[in-house]
């Protein structure tokens, strides 16, 4: 599989994820407008991937810091985007810094996979939501990095992927990339996940993250909180996987995380509702730290109390 985001020396190459799984099309982003549009319409998505795209996007600004701010503000919830843009702007060599961020994400994904494989040595049936794999990062993923590491080691592993409404990142993207890798995957409606957990059919839940507050509260794709509640009720471990760049020491708790609201048309298009129907369409929710078994990071698995653990790796 091609990388989700790459640099050609003059443009950013991404897989247009709005077209998957019907068509795998690589497009080139040559301007700031291209980058902002791709991030906002989810042609490139996943906190690490949009962070890398944002870092590379700074190279297309021609030194215009206002243009760089447009990129940083394109999606507010994922901390990686602004972190990456500001890191490049603060450096003396923008190109070297942007490419370093890309390389670091590839290595972080590998490390997350290794730590997660060791942590979940006895788990083979994994439940996830949204897409936290190769399509969401510059490397092999975050939550799915654990799956890929287990498969590469010859361990039995299968994934149950919530469809993830309203844009179906689980059904369209997670299922597609896992099938492409030859890993067994079953798609289920979001609302069916608690029933699957109740049947004892899941060994662990692993999800990605868009921002982790200083106390361990996690913002991730809408539906994550519901999974965490159901997993806790049924005694199934619930893990969050992400690189250290997603840990946000400047945000005390999940209550301070800005939650992006998406266009209601995304829901209406699926439900076939009248255009006047009101829709509440948050892109993310916040899972309290108390429901999280561990944070699988490139620095290792962090455990409660998460505040000191997060501070320690930052």
pLDDT for the residue 1: 78
| Tens of pLDDT, residues 37-48 | 999 999 999 999
pLDDT for the residue 124: 98
pLDDT for the residue 274: 80
The answer to whether 5-105 and 113-313 have equal CATH topology is no
- Catalytic, 298? Answer no
Tokens 């503000």 sit on residue: 73
pLDDT for the residue 243: 98
- 9-12: long-range contacts at Cβ-Cβ below 8 A with a sequence spacing of 24 or more? 11/60, 12/53, 12/56, 12/57, 12/60
| Domain ranges within the chain, ordered by starting residue | 5-105, 113-313
The DSSP letter of residue 164 is: -
Instruction: State the architecture of 5-105 in CATH terms.
Output: Up-down Bundle (1.20)
For the chain, which residues score pLDDT lower than 50? Answer: none
pLDDT for the residue 272: 84
pLDDT for the residue 275: 77
pLDDT for the residue 68: 98
Element at 195 (helix H, strand E): helix 193-198
Q: Exposed e or buried b for every residue in 292-309, given b needs 16+ CB within 10 A? A: bbbbbbbbbbbeeebbeb
> Annotated binding residues, as ranges?
45-47, 75, 169, 220-221
The whole model's pTM is what?
0.96
CA 201 to chain centre: 24
The DSSP letter of residue 260 is: P
Q: Which CATH number fits domain 113-313: 3.40.50.10470, 3.40.50.2300, 3.40.50.1820, 3.30.300.20?
A: 3.40.50.10470
Helical residues (DSSP H) of 219-305, grouped into ranges? 224-233, 265-271
pLDDT for the residue 83: 97
| Active-site residue, from 105, 190, 210, 217 | 210
| Tens of pLDDT, residues 136-149 | 999 999 999 999 99
> Annotated binding residues for substrate, as ranges?
45-47, 75, 169, 220-221
């Amino acid at each position: 599989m091609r990388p989700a985001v790459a640099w050609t020396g003059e443009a950013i190459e991404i897989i247009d994820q709005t077209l998957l799984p019907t068509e795998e099309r690589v497009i080139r982003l040559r301007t700031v407008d291209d980058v902002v549009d791709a991030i906002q319409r989810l042609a490139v998505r996943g906190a690490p991937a949009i962070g890398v795209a944002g870092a590379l996007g700074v190279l297309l600004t021609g030194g215009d810091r206002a243009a760089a701010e447009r990129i940083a503000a394109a999606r507010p919830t994922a901390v990686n985007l602004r972190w990456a843009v500001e890191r490049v702007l603060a450096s003396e060599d923008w190109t070297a810094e942007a490419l370093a961020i890309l390389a670091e994400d590839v290595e972080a994904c590998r490390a997350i996979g290794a730590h997660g494989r060791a942590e979940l040595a006895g788990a083979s049936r994994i439940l996830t939501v949204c897409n936290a794999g190769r399509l969401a990062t510059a490397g092999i993923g975050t939550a799915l990095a654990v799956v890929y590491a287990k498969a590469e080691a010859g361990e039995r592993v299968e994934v149950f992927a919530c469809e993830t409404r309203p844009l179906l990142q689980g059904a369209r993207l997670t299922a597609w990339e896992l099938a492409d890798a030859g890993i067994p995957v079953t798609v289920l409606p979001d609302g069916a996940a608690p029933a699957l957990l109740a049947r004892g059919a899941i060994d662990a839940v692993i999800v990605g993250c868009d921002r982790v507050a200083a106390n361990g509260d996690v913002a991730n794709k809408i539906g994550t909180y519901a999974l965490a509640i159901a997993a806790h009720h049924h005694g199934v471990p619930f893990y969050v996987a992400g690189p250290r760049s997603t840990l946000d020491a400047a945000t005390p708790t999940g209550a301070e995380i800005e939650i992006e609201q998406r266009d209601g048309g995304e829901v209406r298009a699926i439900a076939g509702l009248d255009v006047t129907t009101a829709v509440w369409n948050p892109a993310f929710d916040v899972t309290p730290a108390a429901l999280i078994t561990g944070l699988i990071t490139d620095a290792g698995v962090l455990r409660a109390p998460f505040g000191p653990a997060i501070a320690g790796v930052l």
